[in-house]
Amino acid sequence: MSKTPDNRTVLVAGGAGFIGSNFIRYVLDAEPGVRVVNFDRLTYAGNLQNNEDVETNPRYRFVRGDIAAEPDVAGVFAGAGIDVVVNFAAETHVDRSIEDAAPFVRTNVQGTACLLAHSRRAGVSRYVQISTDEVYGSLGEDGAFAEDTPLHPNNPYAATKAGADLLVLAEARTHGAPALITRCSNNYGPMQFPEKFVPLMLANAMEDRPIPVYGDGSNRREWIYVDDHSRGVWDAVNKGRPGEVYNIGGGQETANIELARMVLAELGKPETLIEFVADRPGHDRRYAIDCSKIEREWGWAARTGFADGIRATIDWYRTHPEWVRGVRDQSYRSYYERHYTHRDRTLTSFR
Ligand code: NAD
Ligand code: DAU
């Protein structure tokens, strides 16, 4: 029996992470007939608490597994009637990739190759690879990344994401796979793991701990509220063309130090909490995204303004201290101490 767009089964790899869990919630809400299989290895960044609100939904199922492990991937496809694959699964933190690139190569490159091969065998109608603006490298003071900007990844995370993108494009070209790529700017919102800048600032400042700002804080990022990204990814599933790349960006560009000041002001905390610490090696100077292609082709536009998005994010972290406590486990604390000790001793306050 052929399926309509309304009763497809979507395999979401990495659906227990920050963006994947938001995407699952978005799809189950927006599409009353669509089924979701959440396939996640549950690394330190994967957390089933992020899926608590959908776990009793009859159209939702969780399967624990590793996208780079052949038997796990074969197992999740077997008899599941998967129509669409959306791959969020990745090692995602730049600083950890600088410490050790091996898990990034394994998951981001080998894992993508494995998912692509099984998607081909299963004859899926759509494969969407969730990529990042980091594959384009770093910008000068002006301009923005377009889809045809040459790839120039500058850190191991970005290099492995670029490698994965090339595999996806090769799959579309060589095997005629219905595969495409989205590349998004920096996301923020509820349930983001507090190793990333925004949730790290929130979690620390709420407890009057210092917030570490790399270098002089003048590096710039473009921010997008996670809901807007999820809506763009679902558009990619339904409106994207095979073999194409689509940029997604929130249009909210700011220097890190301005963002730190804005967060502290919203929290009612003093700027004296800011600690300038040693810079990230190879720190990309500036990211900005030209997403006119999806505005034109899909009618997509970001809907959440920066101030509203930051306020909603702060509200969530304020009302979920137990989530923050839960994820700041022993392995988080030892990462934090390992990573920040050589940057500034006063920051290592978790003992
Ligand atoms: P995250 O670190 O919060 O979540 C990653 C998820 O992938 C976790 O649930 C983890 O358990 C899972 N995972 C890791 N390795 C796996 C494996 N081998 N097999 C199965 N599951 C595995 O990441 P995120 O911030 O939600 O990012 C999701 C995707 O979006 C990534 O591909 C990332 O590169 C991309 N992206 C993120 C941002 C951002 O600002 N966070 C921006 C653009 C693109
Ligand atoms: O641009 C998309 C990318 O955004 C995603 O592909 C990545 O998965 C995601 O982690 C993010 O990468 P960044 O390196 O830009 O995000 P991060 O939150 O680590 O850092 C944001 C900026 O803040 C960056 O310029 C570094 C700076 N920073 C970060 C941390 C963790 C600090 O100043 N202090 C910190 O402690």
Distance (Å, whole) CA 282 – CA 8: 43
C-alpha of 226 from chain center: 9
Is the per-residue pLDDT at 346 higher than 80? no
Instruction: Determine the pLDDT at residue 341.
Output: 81
> Which of the listed residues 19, 39, 85, 97 should we mutate to test ligand 1's pocket, taking the one with most ligand atoms within 8 A of CB?
19
Instruction: Determine the pLDDT at residue 311.
Output: 97
5 is written with which tokens?
């767009």
176: exposed, middle or buried (C-beta count within 10 Å: 0-12, 13-18, 19+)? exposed
Average pLDDT, the chain: 96
- Atom in ligand 1 nearest the alpha carbon of residue 192: 3
Cβ(149) – ligand 2 distance below 6 Å = no
- Ligand 2 geometric centre to CA of 196 (Å): 6
| CB half-sphere exposure, 331, CA atoms < 13 A | 7
Is the per-residue pLDDT at 257 higher than 90? yes
Identify whether 133 is a catalytic site residue. yes
Percent of the chain whose pLDDT exceeds 70: 96
Nearest residue by C-alpha to atom 6 in ligand 2: 132
Instruction: Determine the pLDDT at residue 85.
Output: 99
- Ligand 1 geometric centre to CA of 302 (Å): 21
Cβ(197) – ligand 2 distance below 6 Å = yes
Cβ(132) – ligand 1 distance below 6 Å = yes
Angle between helices 306-319 and 197-206 (to 10 degrees): 50
Instruction: Determine the pLDDT at residue 292.
Output: 98
Interval 325-330 mean pLDDT: 95
- Ligand 2 geometric centre to CA of 59 (Å): 34
Nearest residue by C-alpha to atom 29 in ligand 1: 88
pLDDT single digits (tens) 202-240: 999 999 999 999 999 999 999 999 999 999 999 999 999
pLDDT single digits (tens) 267-277: 999 999 999 99
190 is written with which tokens?
């509820």
User: Domain 9-188+224-251+286-304+331-340: which CATH class?
Assistant: alpha beta
For the chain, the structural domain boundaries read: 9-188+224-251+286-304+331-340
Decide if 347 contacts 340 (C-beta within 8 A): yes
Is the per-residue pLDDT at 313 higher than 50? yes
User: pTM of this prediction?
Assistant: 0.97
- Ligand 1 geometric centre to CA of 56 (Å): 23
Compare 180 and 343 and report the one with higher pLDDT.
Answer: 180
Q: Which pLDDT band, with edges at 50, 70 and 90, does 1 fall under?
A: very low
Is the per-residue pLDDT at 345 higher than 60? no
Is 126 in a helix, a strand, or coil?
strand
37 is written with which tokens?
């299989």
**Would you give the DSSP letter of residue 84?**
E
Nearest residue by C-alpha to atom 36 in ligand 1: 132
- Ligand 1 geometric centre to CA of 246 (Å): 18
pLDDT single digits (tens) 153-197: 999 999 999 999 999 999 999 999 999 999 999 999 999 999 999
Is the per-residue pLDDT at 5 higher than 80? no
Cβ(94) – ligand 2 distance below 6 Å = yes
Among 133, 195, 228, 235, which one carries the catalytic annotation?
133
